[in-house]
Copies of this chain bind each other. A is one copy, B any other.
Amino acid sequence: MILISTVGIFINIKKDEAIKMAEKLIDYLKKNEIDYLVESRSADCLNEKEKKANFKELREKVDFVALFGGDGTLLRAARHFAGSDIPLLGINIGSLGFMTVIEVEAVEKAIDLILKNEFEIENRMMITAEVYRDNCEVYNGFGLNDVVINRGANFNLIGVELFINNQFVSSFKGDGLIVSTPTGSTAYSLSAGGPIIHPGLEVLVITPISPHNLYIRPLVIGGNDEVLADLEVAGSNMKISIDGRCGFDLRNGDQVKIKKAPHDVTLVKFPERNFYRILREKMRIGMI
């Protein structure tokens, strides 16, 4: 059982609605005499200088984190709280989120349930990538959704030699390659033709982006399998990105190793907001 003594707060500062909702939560916490800390930039926005804390401090001191934003906000938080066991509660501001499970109307009720310990958690696997150049690691990073290699503004195709657990799988040419966690399977991978994967599974999906080889298909492998992509490309501008951010420039001959990250992220889960219901609502509007 997790005893909640300090609540962490992190918001998407670009969304007025997020600011407004976070202020309401702070009022509620004050009224109920529950301590809280606010992430630095969020604190500036909320005029909560005394409660300001950076991610490192939050990780040490809070018992759960309330996030106000969308899936993007949760992707950011996931990197900071990976491996901490601190449950993240995503409060959905704006468009429907896969990971942000609570709509704003239900925030206070949700906080009550969390304070009473009447909630479940779920662990989501994360993904990590390392780039090797001339046998030296030149980049590494990790994320919750996906690792994407794409040709960027380069109009030359990328050639990929794909290995799994050091076994050669296939070579193909195309715009690039997505390796996704189950959580990320409903993001870019789905747009590129990959399957939907229940977020509780421990698997990875490799989805080619616009492959010129017509027989190439998305491939689902085990959560402990290791993907190696040997990259060949004429010209420049090929990039690797994780969760849609921090592109690192790749070069001809680079090797990218992708596998399950050593740490999970922990999410608060409410039974009435199950994955299939969110999926159905997303699909009803035809937009992932």
In whole Å, how far is A106's beta carbon from the nearest beta carbon of chain B? 19
Taking each of A194, A214, A279, which has the highest tally of chain B beta carbons within 10 Å of its own beta carbon? A214
Q: Does A211 contact B (CB under 8 A)?
A: yes
**Docked-complex contact B210 and A195, CB < 8 angstroms:** no
Complex Cα spacing A241 to B274, Å: 31
Pick from B222, B241, B245, B286: contact of A213, CB under 8 Å: B286
A262 beta carbon closer than 8 Å to chain B: no
Q: Are A222 and B198 in contact (CB under 8 A)?
A: yes
- List the one stretch of A63-71, A86-94, A185-193 in contact with chain B: A185-193
A28 CB contacts on chain B under 8 angstroms: none
User: Is A197 on the interface with B (CB-CB < 8 A)?
Assistant: yes
Interface members, chain A 220-265 (any B CB < 8 Å): 220-222, 225, 237, 239, 241, 244-245, 247
Interface residues of A in 269-288 (CB under 8 A from B): 274, 276-277, 279-280, 283-284, 286-288
Task: Tell me which of B182, B200, B210, B215 contacts A215 (CB under 8 A).
Answer: B215
Q: Which of B247, B280, B284 contacts A153 (CB 8 A)?
A: B247
Closest Cβ of chain B to A93, distance in Å, is 18
Whether the pair A168, B280 counts as a contact (CB closer than 8 A) is: yes
- The reply to whether the CB of A169 lies closer than 8 angstroms to some CB of chain B is yes
**Measured CA separation A197–B198 after assembly (Å):** 14
Contacts of A276 in B (CB 8 A): 164, 167-170
Which residues of chain B have C-beta atoms less than 8 A from A210's C-beta?
A: 188, 191-192, 209-210
User: A190–B217 contact, CB under 8 A?
Assistant: yes
| Contact of A220 with B197 in the complex, beta carbons under 8 Å | yes
Contact B220 A191, beta carbon cutoff 8 Å = no
Report the minimal beta-carbon distance from A34 to chain B, rounded to whole angstroms: 33
Q: Is A203 an interface residue (CB 8 A)?
A: yes
Q: Residues of B contacting A194 with CB < 8 Å?
A: 195
Residues of B within 8 A of A193 (CB): 193
Q: Which residues of B contact A222 (CB under 8 A)?
A: 198, 200-201
A274 CA to B170 CA, complexed, in Å = 13
Interface status of A218 (Cβ within 8 A of chain B):
yes
Contact between chains at B192 and A220 (CB < 8 Å) = no
Measured CA separation A245–B235 after assembly (Å)? 12
Asked if A29 CB lies within 8 Å of chain B CBs, one says no
What residues of B have a CB within 8 angstroms of the CB of A286 in the complex?
213-215, 283-284, 286
The residues of A with any CB-CB pair to B shorter than 8 Å are 152-153, 155, 164, 167-170, 174-175, 182, 185, 188, 190-198, 200-201, 203, 205, 209-222, 225, 237, 239, 241, 244-245, 247, 274, 276-277, 279-280, 283-284, 286-288
Having A167-B277, A195-B217, one finds 4 other A-B pairs with CB under 8 Å, namely: A196-B217, A197-B220, A198-B225, A214-B214
